[in-house]
Chain A
Amino acid sequence: MHHEPLRRVHECVFGVLALERASRWIRACSHAKDTGSARIVVVTRGFMPEAENRRDIPEKRWAGRLLWIAVASALFWLVHGFAIRSLFQAVRHTASKLGH
């Protein structure tokens, strides 16, 4: 009963359910004897062609670079933006008022 959904899970790669998480979920379904739902979910939520093997997908290679760009973006906000600067200014202002 479980072969079909499990095969699909192995084909299910990036974008939807991580392999381990999907397998865990299928196991939970099979404990509950609910393989029908398992099949529906695996098929509707993330079937991807075999060609996009988890090891080969370009997104995996880009992830590190994308994260560094996100970090740089956050740093630019921190350094160039007015929000943090104005927070320090407001804290100083409030502290000086409390001092009086």
Chain B
Amino acid sequence: MAAIVYLLAAAVSAFVWSRAALPWITRPVRWLSGMLIMSVLVLLPVQALATLELLRWIGAIHLWALATVPVVMLAALLLWARKAQKPDHRDMERRRSATLVSSSLPSYLWLCAALLTVSYLVFAFNLFTSYPSGSDALTYHLPVALHWLQNGSLRIPSLSAWQYGLPGNAEIGMMLFLSTGHETLVPLVNVFVLVLFGLATYEIAMRVSRGNKMAAVAVTVIALSMPIVEFQSFSGYVDLFGSAFLITAVALFLARNDGVGSERAKFHRRTMLLLSALACGVSIGTKPVFYVYAAVYCLAVAITLMRESGLFGREFAGGMAVVVAGVLLPSVFWFGRGLAATGNPLFPMQVKVGQRVLLKGFAPSEITANEFSDKFVRQRAEWIIYPWTEYLRNPGEQLIPYSEGSGTGAAFAAFVPLGLLFAMFRAGSRRSGPTETILLATWIGLAVVWWTSLQRMPRFGLPLLAVACVLSAPLVVVLQEFAGRGFAILLVVCVVATCGISAFVPLREIGGRLKNHGWSRSHVYGYPALVDDLPPGTTLLNNTGVRDANFTLAGRKLTNRVIADFEVPNPITPAFLAERHVDFVVEAAQPNGEKTSFRSTAQFTAGNQESTSANAGGKRWTFWTVERPANATGNRQ
């Protein structure tokens, strides 16, 4: 309940503020700004209380204490909005003139939008009749969020596990939804950023196509039809979260001069710069992958401001101060937390120059193996034709190569690579505008970085995929204007094909549950139902070799504490079990008796420990009871 009050108060505050303080901007930019402000209002109070907890000024983060912050802010905002100046007449006229170009959309775009909506609704129905899914989500994103919630702290509990050291702006949202007790709500974090992703793509496409609404909508349809986006929207992955805020930063930066000519032009410009930088900051606080993108963003912003106002001008210094403050505000907590725990602000990332390690941490290849991305292609040269092949070595039970980490879809394959070539031709023949040229140059540079430094993971390149869609807007303009019917038919066919393939996955899952009547959590996740009946606070150590069990063993009410497999030492010692107050060590074995875990329990199971066994998910699960030493206290953290 506290989380719902907190989120609602933040949403209303953001709406009131963006309406009162940003009168000159167009509706999509106002929505982008409002949603960004809401996100910042949600994140900052949590980070502030977590900082107090890190400093040991408070014992733990309490959600009701947290909820009072946006409620007080909302009251203050309402008072301010009543007294605030009425919008400048010219501002209103400018906004009206910009929004009046709302020529009605052609029927094929409505059809594409309807097809996409149906496809997304199938995913939503699957989610709301089931539980959150996704390998990385269940392995560490959700366990980290649950750990924070159960402990009231965002501390790094174990330096041997990089999973706990990652920045976690997205996980803060997940934590708030987990606190409602309805874990199905967790992916709403990604549904929220999906809207942001769509709006930002539309807004940038509008600028690249010089205000052609139909082209911008078509480009947005192509971007939203990408399976990687659709699957991430209903999962606990965080790549869409970071990407959405990053391209929001670009969209808001491009809107910085929309207030020029107004009496308050300077204020408008600074406000948009701040909002843009805040969006970039939220992205930085999502995942280390976005450090690279953010560095390029900051460089591009600095060069643009320098060209607009000169290197030594006060305008440049002021603008850069606003940008630095905005970028750091939603992200500095994570750097401070890493610094306090390890002396390395970039923890869990290792800082290395040549062979010399300057700051200890994990090498990128320890977090994501260099060979990991090879499962998307048969040989590396095939990356250049990935949009057409969409190969996946092990598509799993679903047999479909689309997932949270793979798949760009038919519409992307048909239009975007060609659109990129067309954009390059336009830039070469000096037909493109400055926004298009700079975006294209940045895209090419970042594509090289993605290949060399981001392990060639498709989902790590999600911002690149979005910008590639945007850059195909000039091609879409030409096709719409001069080959309209053919373009319409091709786009609809591509969207039908992609949505059909994507939606098959949730449809098959829904059908499977209908057939087997498997609606319970234990049935969906494939673990023994006895886990749901354990007393609240029971601590289970996951030594099953089933990575998803890091989250699923928390039980239906999320009241069990789980020691995740990535923080378990090998061998498991009685001292470790005593230190972490473990009640049960959980193991699993294949039907042939072969254990699925790799950590040795020889030291622990040598005695006559009691055990309970149960079958679930095609495995035999064993729950070893851990005897507590007589002098042990129940003093759990």
Chain A: residues with CB nearer than 8 A to chain B?
Answer: 14-18, 21, 24-25, 29, 34, 36-37, 40-41, 44-46, 59-60, 62-64, 66-67, 69-71, 73-74, 76-78, 80-84, 86-87, 89-91, 93-94, 98
Q: Is the interface of A mostly helix, strand, loop or mixed?
A: helix
Enumerate B473-507 residues with CB–CB distance to A below 8 Å: 474-475, 477-479, 481-483, 486-487, 490, 493-494, 497-498, 500-501, 504
Whole-angstrom CA separation of A83 from B475 in the bound complex: 25
If A77-B388, A77-B414, A86-B400 touch, whether A37 touches B96 (CB-CB below 8 Å) is yes
Evaluate contact between A60 and B482: CB separation under 8 angstroms.
yes
**Does B342 sit at the interface, judged by CB under 8 A?**
no
Evaluate contact between B399 and A74: CB separation under 8 angstroms.
no
If A70-B490, A86-B395 touch, whether A80 touches B211 (CB-CB below 8 Å) is no
Q: Which residues from chain B contact A15 at a C-beta distance below 8 Å?
A: 209-210, 212, 474, 477
User: How many chain B residues touch A (Cβ–Cβ < 8 Å)?
Assistant: 55
If A15-B209, A37-B93, A77-B410 touch, whether A94 touches B493 (CB-CB below 8 Å) is no
Could you pull out 16 A-B pairs where Cβ atoms are within 8 angstroms?
A18-B481, A25-B103, A36-B97, A37-B93, A41-B98, A63-B478, A64-B482, A66-B475, A67-B479, A67-B487, A70-B490, A71-B414, A82-B391, A83-B497, A87-B500, A94-B511
Chain A residue with Cβ nearest B478: A59
Q: Which residues from chain A contact B31 at a C-beta distance below 8 Å?
A: none
User: Shortest distance in angstroms between A69's beta carbon and chain B's nearest beta carbon?
Assistant: 6
Evaluate contact between A59 and B482: CB separation under 8 angstroms.
yes
Enumerate B168-222 residues with CB–CB distance to A below 8 Å: 209-212
If A73-B418, A90-B508 touch, whether A83 touches B400 (CB-CB below 8 Å) is yes
Evaluate contact between A90 and B400: CB separation under 8 angstroms.
yes
Chain B residue with Cβ nearest A92: B399
Q: Is the interface of B mostly helix, strand, loop or mixed?
A: helix
Whole-angstrom CA separation of A81 from B406 in the bound complex: 13
Evaluate contact between B210 and A46: CB separation under 8 angstroms.
yes
**Does B405 sit at the interface, judged by CB under 8 A?**
no
If A73-B388, A83-B407 touch, whether A14 touches B211 (CB-CB below 8 Å) is no
**Does B417 sit at the interface, judged by CB under 8 A?**
yes
Whole-angstrom CA separation of A86 from B479 in the bound complex: 31
**Does B100 sit at the interface, judged by CB under 8 A?**
yes
Q: Which residues from chain B contact A76 at a C-beta distance below 8 Å?
A: 388, 413
User: Shortest distance in angstroms between B507's beta carbon and chain A's nearest beta carbon?
Assistant: 9
User: Shortest distance in angstroms between B378's beta carbon and chain A's nearest beta carbon?
Assistant: 10
Evaluate contact between B478 and A84: CB separation under 8 angstroms.
no
Whole-angstrom CA separation of A93 from B511 in the bound complex: 13
Q: Which residues from chain A contact B498 at a C-beta distance below 8 Å?
A: 83
Evaluate contact between B481 and A14: CB separation under 8 angstroms.
yes
Whole-angstrom CA separation of A74 from B225 in the bound complex: 14
Evaluate contact between A82 and B101: CB separation under 8 angstroms.
no
Chain B residue with Cβ nearest A65: B483
Enumerate B65-113 residues with CB–CB distance to A below 8 Å: 93-94, 96-98, 100-101, 103
Q: Which residues from chain B contact A93 at a C-beta distance below 8 Å?
A: 399
**Does B389 sit at the interface, judged by CB under 8 A?**
yes
Evaluate contact between B399 and A89: CB separation under 8 angstroms.
yes
Q: Which residues from chain A contact B94 at a C-beta distance below 8 Å?
A: 40
Which of these, A25, A73, A89, A98, contacts B413 with CB under 8 Å? A73
User: Shortest distance in angstroms between B29's beta carbon and chain A's nearest beta carbon?
Assistant: 15
**Does B387 sit at the interface, judged by CB under 8 A?**
yes
User: Shortest distance in angstroms between B613's beta carbon and chain A's nearest beta carbon?
Assistant: 29
User: Shortest distance in angstroms between B346's beta carbon and chain A's nearest beta carbon?
Assistant: 38
Q: Which residues from chain B contact A36 at a C-beta distance below 8 Å?
A: 93, 97
If A74-B493, A82-B392, A86-B399 touch, whether A17 touches B418 (CB-CB below 8 Å) is no
The interface centre, meaning the residue of B101, B103, B209, B477 with most chain A CB atoms within 10 A of its CB, is B101
The 6 closest A-B pairs by CB, nearest first: A63-B482, A45-B211, A74-B414, A90-B399, A37-B97, A77-B413
Q: Which residues from chain A contact B209 at a C-beta distance below 8 Å?
A: 15-16
Which of these, B410, B418, B481, B504, contacts A63 with CB under 8 Å? B481
If A25-B101, A80-B388, A87-B500 touch, whether A63 touches B212 (CB-CB below 8 Å) is no
Whole-angstrom CA separation of A16 from B210 in the bound complex: 6
**Does B123 sit at the interface, judged by CB under 8 A?**
no
Evaluate contact between A90 and B478: CB separation under 8 angstroms.
no
Q: Which residues from chain B contact A59 at a C-beta distance below 8 Å?
A: 478, 481-482
Evaluate contact between B210 and A84: CB separation under 8 angstroms.
no
Which of these, B100, B212, B388, contacts A81 with CB under 8 Å? B388
Whole-angstrom CA separation of A96 from B565 in the bound complex: 37
Chain A residue with Cβ nearest B497: A84
Evaluate contact between B413 and A74: CB separation under 8 angstroms.
yes
**Does B361 sit at the interface, judged by CB under 8 A?**
no
**Does B390 sit at the interface, judged by CB under 8 A?**
yes
Q: Which residues from chain B contact A14 at a C-beta distance below 8 Å?
A: 477-478, 481
**Does B17 sit at the interface, judged by CB under 8 A?**
no
Q: Which residues from chain A contact B399 at a C-beta distance below 8 Å?
A: 86, 89-90, 93
Evaluate contact between A70 and B97: CB separation under 8 angstroms.
no
Q: Which residues from chain B contact A34 at a C-beta distance below 8 Å?
A: 100
